[in-house]
Structure formats: structure tokens, C-alpha cells
Chains A and B, each alone.
Chain A
Amino acid sequence: MRKTFTGLLAGVGFTLVGVASAAAEDLTIFWAEWDPANYLQELVNEYSKESGDTVTVETTPWSDFQTKAFTEFNAKGDAYDLVVGDSQWLGAGATGGHYVDLTEFFNKHKLSEVMAPATVKYYAEYPSNSGKYWAIPLEGDAVGWAYRKDWFEDPKEKEAFKAKYGYDLDVPKTFKELRDIAEFFYRPDEKRYGIAIYTQTTYDALAMGFENALFSYGGDLGDYSTYKVEGIVNAPVAVEALEMYKELYKFTPPNWGNTFFQEDNQAITEGLAAMSMNYFAFFPSLLNEATNPHAKVTGFFANPAGPTGVQSAALGGQGISIVSYSKKQEAAMRFLEWFIRDDVQKKWAELGGYTCSQAVLKSAEFQNATPYNKAFYETMFKVKDFWAVPEYAELLSQLNNRLGPYVVGDKGTAKEALDGLAKDWTETFTKYGRYSN
């Protein structure tokens, strides 16, 4: 009898395994080629073990990421089931019909309470304040700073700095201090430079860099609900912020006019600059002695405040969306159910991913895990993002066209550049019928 029962159980077991394997799906997540994508692949391997669904994180270099993703979307292709799309893509993804509406899922799991507010606002919701969600915050990111602790802590340097500027050399708390420190360490004869910032005029490098100054100066890119930009993006505080950004460019290493995340990390690894702007997601390699000979003496800080004490930063990071052309949307939904679990979010953070879960971000365990996690945590609650409208790429091009020649090419004034930008953006928003009369 026992044998019969055992046999029966085994039979049921085999049948269930058979059913499970028959229902198993192969999911493909598309993302850019960088460390967090590798961490995600490690994480989803756990999911594969648990569910039987195989998940592959397919990557492509950052330079091709947007083009490749949208080419597939426009062809209504099902090569990717999920995509970890840039925050600016939300409008294009939602209005173009490329993303599955996740509002019900979002509300069911109360994700607007679970995830950090900025990540919900910028990675998931479109239009702003509409309560419609198209992604689940996956990789939180923002721009912060790395610096050379040994240069800052050198007693001789401290003494010289105090003598010149009248206050102690320390991690900058304001943009003015950032500028002074950049000037202080700018020593071309010694091949030492003050600061490394983003200057590249393709995609969003210069936009992200300038936003760090703009937002902390209390400025904005426009009114996201009315699309009014005139008088906002070219307001006096914005002009001051742009002038400061150009001022910082004076203290960069030579020919720093075409730089983004890779070069800004090199500024630290090659011992070129005292301070370097970069996304937090690129900081892990700065702590790795194999990739950074100065790893032990590299410190990190959050974007400093502007003249009125406002402290903010440019948002990076991405949410994960289900591609509407995927034939495995149910399986994709199952994966998202798993991904938002508290234990998975914790594991995601442990692997090196930047979780957006408030509970994990607030935990002492997370904040003490790396020298930059605390700065990341502080930043993530103060960030702002670029326009997420479908025509964001045109807006980026126009910003690059106006600001690039001023910051790097030394042409015109900050006021002229921003007035031109306000004019371009107003024309673009008019063309796409963003203004309601």
C-alpha cells in the first residue's frame, strides 16, 4: 500500500513537473551594457530556479540602446518581453503604445508607497500626476561626485586652501565651495586638475551635468504640467547656474569638451582630477583596486547646494516595462510580481543594483554597505528629471545645440544660450500641440 502511495505521489510529482516545464517561458529583458545589467542577470538566475521561467538580460552598448530599442518597438517586434528603458522614454513608450499599462499592478501592490517617491514620479508615471503607471522602478540612479580624499586631507593643502579662501578645505557643501576647490586644485603644470564634469553634446550628458547646477540653484527646465518654459528655463537663477557650470569647465583637464561617464571615471582612475561628477551606478568600479589605483583614497559626496541652500541633482536610472508586443506578457507580469518582493529587492541591493524600495534604501544595512550608498540615499529623495514627453530626444538635441557652444565653445552668453533654448522648446511644444488654450 505504501509502495502504491509513493508511486502515486511520484506520478503526481512528475506530472506537475511536466506541467510546470510545459508552461515555462523564456523571457528576454533588454537593457544597456553596464554593471547593473550583470547584477540583474545574477538576480534573475534566482528567479529561473524558483519559477522555471528562464530570464535572459540582453544588453547593447549605451550608444545603441535607445535606437535599438525603439527600432524594435516601431517594428512591433517581440524580441524583448521587458525593457529597462530610460526615464525619458516613458512618454514615447506610453503614448506610442509600446509599453503595457501597469496602473492596476502598481495600485494593487501599493508601489507608490513602497518605492521612493522620485522613482515613482520619474520612472513609472506618465503623464505627470496622472496616476497612470507604465514601469516598475528598477535601477535607481542619480548624479553624485567622487573625490580624492588624500588630496583633500593633506595638511599642506588644507593650510594653503585656508590661507587662500578663508575657510577649511572639506567636502563641498555648496556650488561656490565646489568652484573654489576646483580652482584650488587646478594645476596644469603638475597635470592635476580641479574637476571633471559632463560636456558631451550627444544624448543627455550635457543636460544631466547642467541639471545638477540648475536644480540646486533653484531653477527648473519648465513647468511640467503646462509646458511653459519661457521665463523658467531662462530665469535669472538658471542663467546663474549655467554661468557656474561654464565656470567649472575652466578647471577641467585639457580638452574636456566631449566627455561623459567613462571619461569622468577616468579622471579619478588616472589621477587627473580632484573631483568628478558621475552617476552613482558607475561608482562601484572606483572602489575596485583592479580598475582604480586610487580606490583606497576615493571618497564620495552628494551634489552640493546652490546659493539659496536648495540641494538637488539630476536623476538617472530606469524602470522596467513590459513590451506591449511581447507574446509572454503573463509570464512577464509573474516576473514583476517576484521582482517587487521585499526579499528580492534586498537581494538586488546586495548584488550591487540600486533598489528603489524605500524600506531597503532607509535601512542602515544599505546605507553602510558602501562609501557612496549614504550619498545615494540622500540624493534619491531630492532629484528631478528631464522632460519625459515623446519628443524628449528633440528637446535634448536643442539643449545640446544651445548650451554646448556656450559651455565648451565659449560662444555668446549664458542668457543668450538659455533664451535660445526657451525659444526652441516653446516652438517644439507648440508644434506637438502641448499647449491647451
Chain B
Amino acid sequence: MTRLDPGSRAAARGWSDLTIRNMFIIPTIAFLIVFNIFPLIYSLGYSFTDYRASTNQAANFVGLQNYRELLGDEFIWNNFVVTAKYVIVSVTGQVVVGFGIALLLNRAIPFKGLITTLLLLPMMMSMAVVGLFWKLLYDPSWGVINYVFHLGDFAWLSNRDAALYAVAITDIWMWSPFVMLLSLAGLSAVPKHLYEAAAIDRAGKFYTFRRITLPLVAPILLIAIIFRTMEAFKTFDLAYVMSSQDTTELISIRLYKMAFQEWQTGRSSALAYIVLIMVLAITNIYVKYLNRVKER
């Protein structure tokens, strides 16, 4: 334990290490309890009631009714299916693009630092701004995408089949740099002597990639996948800003509408818990897999 300089002001005031530590920790814990734990428990309570914030009526306990109704609602399941599609397309795209760019950058190239920094710019922007920006790019009348790919007046965001993919492409553009950054860190940590040994053994490039690069980068790549899956599952602003139709209604958008447009406070609290449990379950599966990969 670091001892306080006896001449310091704190020591002069008679503050011990414990007092100073508590001065930092207690407000943090209090903050967490007030703004995280309390609302979490409070909303859990609401999820068992028929409470509606838009009325002046008290909440009535309805037991598991909200959960039962939500899990039996075909439209809610459709929202989950849309979300699953979005997560799979978006995360897969980010891993392929991000890891691919990292492989390209993991070699001696001129202006490597500058290129890496420029590639990181998309993820530093606000989701809502990116959404509006890409909405313009996709515009059939003056958007540059249709012009470049000679797509005529194809309306990406109003097309029921294409809209979700259009949003996912934007997410891939925005978050591939994140995967790239983590992948680069993993790639640079692979011991050089393994590649040298492989070269001496005349191992092919693909074999080296499959047997050396991929296994050693896999743990850090999995961490990136965990983060991106959790984030993609919660995506709201991008899809909300870019398209508003049932084929792009992610579960977070449905949750928002239920809570703040329909004011079904109790029911939306239950849905929030269902989403939370799902995210925790998926993350748990990933973490277990990650641990297994690490043990190899």
C-alpha cells in the first residue's frame, strides 16, 4: 500500500488511506446504485404490473402476464427475427471487413499510421449523423451509391427486402474499424519466430494463416465479436433514423415504441428484461467459447 507523504495536506488533515479511498469509492457506488441498480430493480417491479405512465392510474400487479403475452406475440417474435438477421449480417460483415483490413495493414506499408487513423474515423462519429449521411447516399434521386453502381432509381431504404441490409451495410462501414483495431493488436502480438519456423518448414501462406495467425488472433477477435454482437443487438438510432417500416423494426425500436409512443410502461419493462436476458445468454455462450479457445 502506498503510504501518504507525512508532509502532505491530506496527512496534515489526519486523512488515512482508507478515508481517501472511501472518498472516491463511495460516491461511485452511490452513483451506480442510484442510476443503474435502482432503475433496474424498479423496472423489474414494473414488468409485473399493468402500469401506463400516460395515465394517472396506479400500477396493478398482473404477475407474469406481460411476459406471457410478449412471448406469445407473433409480432414480437418477428422483431427478434429481424434483429437476429441484422446482427448476423452486420457482425459477420464487420469481422470479415475489419479483419481483412487488419491483415492488409499488418505489413510494412507507407503512411501506415495515417491510413490506420483515417480508417478509424467512421466509428468516432455519432450514429444518428451517420444514419442521416447514409440516408442521403442511398437516395435514389441524388445519392451517390446508385450513381456509382448504376442502380437507377432503386430505393434502398423503402424497399422492404433491401432496407435491413442497407442499414447493416452502414453499420459495417461504421464499426469495421473497431474490429480492425483489435485485430491489428492481436496480429502484432503473434510471435515472429512462429512465422520464421513456418517459413523454414516451407509452410504455405494459407496453412500459416490457418495454423498460426487465426488461432493466436482468435481470442481477441472473439472479444471484438462479443462487443459488436451486444451492440448490434441493441442498435436503435441507426435503424430508426434510416428507415421506418416493419421489415427494419429491430427489437430496440419496438421497445422504444412500446415504452414512449404507446406508453405501455409495464409491458415494455418486461420486454426490456427479455432482451436483457437474451443478450446475457448470447454473451455467456460467447464467453464460454472464448475461454475454450484460450485454453487451446
Contact = CB atoms under 8 A, between A and B. Distances in A.
Given A74-B54, A393-B262, A408-B160, A401 B245 contact: no
Nearest to A71: B260
Contact of B246 (A92, A390, A391, A400): A400
Given A95-B55, A390-B55, A254 B153 contact: yes
Contact of B159 (A95, A202, A257, A393): A257
A258 B245 contact: yes
Given A67-B260, A254-B155, A409 B160 contact: yes
A67 B244 contact: no
Interface string B232-245: 00000000000111
B162 to A, nearest CB: 9
Contacts of A309: none
A200 B246 contact: no
B257 A397 contact: yes
B116 interface: no
Interface in B245-282: 245-247, 257, 260-264
Interface in A65-105: 66-67, 70-71, 73-74, 92, 95-97
B262 A73 contact: no
B53 interface: yes
A256 B158 contact: yes
Contact of B243 (A92, A256, A258, A390): A258
B8 interface: no
B15 interface: no
Given A200-B245, A393-B261, A255 B54 contact: no
Contact of A202 (B52, B154, B245): B245
B157 interface: yes
B246 A401 contact: yes
B55 A401 contact: no
Interface residues of B, number: 27
A200 B248 CA distance: 12
A132 to B, nearest CB: 17
Nearest to A93: B54
A99 B140 CA distance: 44
Contacts of B52: 390
Most buried by A among B157, B243, B245: B245
B54 A257 contact: no
B54 A92 contact: yes
A318 B52 CA distance: 24
B54 A390 contact: yes
B158 A397 contact: no
Contacts of A191: 153
A97 B52 CA distance: 13
A394 interface: yes
B75 interface: yes
A394 B264 contact: yes
B2 interface: no
B245 A404 contact: yes
Contacts of A405: 246
A258 B263 CA distance: 24
Contacts of A67: 260-261
A325 to B, nearest CB: 11
Contacts of A345: none
B200 to A, nearest CB: 59
Given A70-B260, A96-B54, A401-B75, 7 more contacts: A70-B54, A74-B263, A270-B141, A390-B55, A397-B257, A401-B246, A409-B246
13 contacts: A67-B261, A70-B263, A95-B55, A97-B56, A201-B244, A254-B154, A254-B155, A257-B158, A394-B264, A404-B246, A405-B246, A408-B160, A409-B160
The 10 A-B residue pairs with the shortest CB-CB distance in the complex, in nearest-first order: A255-B155, A393-B262, A258-B158, A255-B158, A202-B244, A97-B56, A74-B53, A258-B245, A96-B55, A401-B75
